[in-house]
Amino acid sequence: MQDLTVPGGVTKSRPDVRRLNWLDGVRALAATFVVLHHVWLMSYGGYPGNNGPWWTDWLVYGHLAVSVFIVVSGYSLALAPADQGMRLRHGGLTFMRRRFWRIVPPYWAALGFSALLIATGLIASPSGSEVTVQDIAIHGLLIQDAISTTPPNGVFWSIAVEWHIYFLFPLLVFCLRRYRIMRVIPAILLLVLVQHIGGQYFPFLAFFERFSTAYFALFAFGTAAVWLASKAIGARMAVCVAVTMVVGFIVVAAVAGPARIVATYFWVDLAVGGATAALLTALDQGKLRWLTSLLGTRFLVSLGRFAFSIYLIHAPVLELLRIHVVARAGLTGAAAFLTLALLGIPLAIGSAYLFFIACERPFLTIRGFRQLLAKVFPKRAQMRPLEPPTPSLAKTNPSDRGPLHRSEPLPSQSSHFDSAIGPFQPKPKTAGPERPS
């Protein structure tokens, strides 16, 4: 990555792409926590309370892993614009096109997988209600956050929320470049607070609750973390903020209990998002190296590279195991929890890896229908005739020489713009920033 100028005329050289390994570790831990949450939910239940032993209280808060994912998404997507002076190198439309091809096809595959299991009677919907063709269509259009439906998979709500946040990302980047972070982030936070508090009194503001508006603030926190790190600002303060907020949450959660924490998730999301953004800022600036080393271990990095697939399909895989093994064996409570943990987690991760190979990894490089067709029909793409060379090539303008002779690189030669592969995805092997919500 290119050097960035910081206050005082000092030039900060951002670390090489391997420094993002710890970011894959964060994704891995967040995805694993979501899986553990569903293991607990299928074993003990009682949400938003806890019917299990006290030591499982922490597993109630699987929702907070989504908050971490949103911050990480904002952070990773802002890496490339930060190196371009907070500019989208190829514009907003190209950004959205690449986001579509990176996120939506794997999501559609997971939607089809979940719908197939429900249609064949192997599992039921998370709510137990019937899943209709209309429900599938609404989820396919990624508008399930705007229209109430019966979800075929309990995690799909957050995919729609993040997809809609992507539409605001170009505006966010522009505002950060034009008005600076000290104005933009407080303004976003103020708008989110006005919507949430005002929604308790005005129905038209309450409508926006279904879009989880707090997540846009969290996404902006992640973007701001990149900006602060690029300017080498507030590393020590970030460590203090992260530690204070994490310890504070643990104390409050222990005193208040799961039910009260869940009832105040709006405020808890903001606190957890702020702590995550502060932690990312500190790690990006070389603080807490022991934690960076831990998050960068080979196992966590490998797991983080297909964290998006883990998130997409772990729930139906666990449900298959619960219905056809745990329930048939009559296991409940601790026996059900241990069975789902010891068998379900490896099964979910293994299935997610196969899903990644088949349905996610191809779209790390596919950015359009032509590339998709070339991937599906490689022989047909190879049989396309080449253009005959121009006889007077030396006397023609480069722009008139045709696609085989133009001075610009072909699409297959151009570097990837995306700096991150979405909420939860592996990074391709590139020389620049990662890539990738």
Identify the band that residue 371 occupies on the pLDDT scale cut at 50, 70 and 90. confident
Give me the pLDDT at residue 297, please.
95
* Residue 67: both structure tokens together: 């908050």
Beta bridge partners of 11: 5
* pTM listed for this prediction: 0.82
Q: 288 Cβ partners below 8 Å, 6+ apart?
A: 239, 279, 282
| Residue 49: other Cβ atoms inside 10 A | 15
Residue 5 DSSP SS3: strand
Beta bridge partners of 12: 4
Q: Give the rounded distance of the alpha carbon of 61 from its chain centre.
A: 18
* Residue 344: both structure tokens together: 């379900």
**24-51 residue pLDDT tens:** 999 999 999 999 999 999 999 899 999 9
Beta bridge partners of 245: none
Residue type, 214: A
How far is 437 from 322, CA to CA, in rounded Å? Answer: 29
Give me the pLDDT at residue 376, please.
79
Burial (0-12, 13-18, 19+ Cβ within 10 Å), 189:
middle
Give me the pLDDT at residue 411, please.
38
**260-296 residue pLDDT tens:** 999 999 999 999 999 999 999 999 999 999 999 999 9
* Residue 305: both structure tokens together: 């590279």
How far is 143 from 131, CA to CA, in rounded Å? Answer: 16
Percent of the chain with pLDDT over 90: 74
- At residue 17, does pLDDT exceed 80? no
Q: What is the largest CA-CA distance in the chain?
A: 82
Residues 154/155/159/165 CA torsion (nearest 10 deg): 100
Among 308, 416, 437, smallest CA distance to 360 is for 308
Which stretches of 355-405 are assigned E, i.e. beta strand?
A: none
Instruction: Give the residue carrying structure tokens 């997540």.
Output: 215
Highest mean pLDDT among 52-61, 383-392, 410-419 belongs to 52-61
| Residue 326: other Cβ atoms inside 10 A | 21
Give me the pLDDT at residue 61, please.
96
**89-102 residue pLDDT tens:** 889 999 999 999 99
Mean pLDDT over 355-377 rounds to 88
Determine which of 7-21, 42-56, 119-133, 160-174 has the lowest per-residue pLDDT on average. Answer: 7-21
Cis peptide leading into residue 48 (ω within 30°) = yes
Which stretches of 353-397 are assigned E, i.e. beta strand?
A: none
Identify the band that residue 385 occupies on the pLDDT scale cut at 50, 70 and 90. low
Determine which of 67-71, 224-228, 322-326, 428-432 has the lowest per-residue pLDDT on average. Answer: 428-432
Q: Give the rounded distance of the alpha carbon of 143 from its chain centre.
A: 18
- At residue 356, does pLDDT exceed 90? yes
- At residue 346, does pLDDT exceed 90? yes
How far is 110 from 105, CA to CA, in rounded Å? Answer: 9
Among 156, 153, 134, smallest CA distance to 145 is for 156
Give me the pLDDT at residue 367, please.
84
DSSP state of 144: T
Backbone phi and psi for residue 332, each to the nearest 5 degrees, phi listed first: -140, 170
Identify the band that residue 320 occupies on the pLDDT scale cut at 50, 70 and 90. very high
**178-223 residue pLDDT tens:** 998 999 999 999 999 999 999 999 999 999 999 999 999 999 999 9
Q: Using an 8 Å Cβ cutoff, are 344 and 65 in contact?
A: no
DSSP state of 205: H
* Residue 70: both structure tokens together: 């949103």
Q: Using an 8 Å Cβ cutoff, are 77 and 433 in contact?
A: no
| Residue 373: other Cβ atoms inside 10 A | 13
Residue 4 DSSP SS3: strand
Mean pLDDT over 309-336 rounds to 96
Across the chain, mean pLDDT equals: 85
How far is 314 from 386, CA to CA, in rounded Å? Answer: 45
- At residue 7, does pLDDT exceed 60? no
Give me the pLDDT at residue 233, please.
87
Beta bridge partners of 4: 12
How far is 346 from 18, CA to CA, in rounded Å? Answer: 27
How far is 291 from 305, CA to CA, in rounded Å? Answer: 18
Q: Using an 8 Å Cβ cutoff, are 255 and 46 in contact?
A: no
Backbone phi and psi for residue 4, each to the nearest 5 degrees, phi listed first: -125, 140
- At residue 425, does pLDDT exceed 70? no
DSSP state of 7: G
Determine which of 64-68, 288-292, 347-351, 404-408 has the lowest per-residue pLDDT on average. Answer: 404-408
Inter-axis angle of helices 265-284 and 63-83, nearest 10: 40
182 vs 377, more confident: 182
Give me the pLDDT at residue 9, please.
35
